[in-house]
Amino acid sequence: MSQEIDPADVQLLRAFNRTYTRRIGVLAPYLDSPLSLTEVRILYELAHHGPCTAADLARDLGLDAGYLSRMLRRFAQQGWLARETHADDARRKQLSLTPAGRAAFAPLEQRSREQMAALLAALAPDRRAQLMAALRTAQGLLDPTAAPPQRTIVLREPRPGDMGWVVQQHGALYAQEFGWNSEFEALVAEIAAQMIRTHDAAWERGFIAELDGERAGCAFVVRESDTVARLRLVLVGFAARGLGLGARLTDECIAFARAKGYRHMVLWTNANLLAARAIYARRGFQLVRSEPYHGYGQDLVGEHWELAL
């Protein structure tokens, strides 16, 4: 039984198609060339995916064989298409671009890159990150067999607005995962405010982790004394779990503390934060004391850990 589709969803998808095709110039001469979008796409496949047969192109692009044949014939007349006998079947021809074909395609590809870059440059960084995340989601839903795109992780120093995100993420994540109430978010807000007010760039460092252009984690090194650094507010969002990001953030903080000549690094955590405790233990942190307490609406056990640098 076919699934009933909401007409509003159909309308939204059609509206997006109209907007996008207008923005990339499909309705005008595509990329300011005499070629159609389909012809440029065929050139792209031939340029990037190596020798292939006409049947391969028709299958991969969903094109009618006769329609494709006419376009390939025009490419051959332009001197853009080379045909060689298939190594496994003399009846089939392997297609590839000639040097003239690559020369004809190169400016079109460059124009396409410039066009996409111009579209992205018009967006503020946060809106660009939102668009990239939405496109990855859409591609994964519409083509689940496609290989997932490579994830990009960047660690950077905090910028204005990041500390508000740190507070919000701690409050939301710990409420969802452990049932902690707003007392914890208030504590994190106090810690974050104090860190901003007293930040010493020479001896302290914060790291914001971005996954595919979106904030996904954080960690901070705060000066406790001339010889002791404190690791604070280590967090990895749900979307970035399983990528080793918590370990990487912790390693960066330890490396910074060592480079600055601190002799010890300390931290406070809770006994129920098993993933975080495992990261600390693997890096040589030792549990030096613990105490039960009631906080954030829960009965918890606080722990003090220390690492000799």
What pLDDT, on the 0 to 100 scale, is given for residue 284? 96
pLDDT at 2: 56
> Where would I find the beta strands (DSSP E) of 108-204?
153-156
Give me the pLDDT at residue 306, please.
98
Note the pLDDT of residue 26: 76
Closest by Cα among 91, 79, 102, 80 to 53: 91
Domains identified in the chain and CATH numbers: 7-122 (1.10.10.10), 154-308 (3.40.630.30)
Residue 160 falls in which region: left (phi positive, over 0), alpha (psi -120 to 50) or beta? beta
Residue 256's CB: how many other CB atoms inside 10 A?
19
Partners of 292 in beta bridges = 301
Distance CA 168, CA 184 (A): 11
Number of H helices, E strands in the chain: 10, 9
Contact predicate 92/86, CB 8 Å: yes
Question: Which pLDDT does position 262 carry in this prediction?
Answer: 97
**Given the structure tokens 């390939």, which residue do they identify?**
72
pLDDT of the residue at 194: 95
Mean pLDDT by 10 residues, the chain (309 residues): 77 87 78 86 85 87 90 92 78 86 90 87 79 81 74 89 95 94 96 95 95 90 97 92 92 96 97 95 96 97 97
pLDDT at 1: 44
d(Cα 22, Cα 27) in Å, to the nearest integer? 6
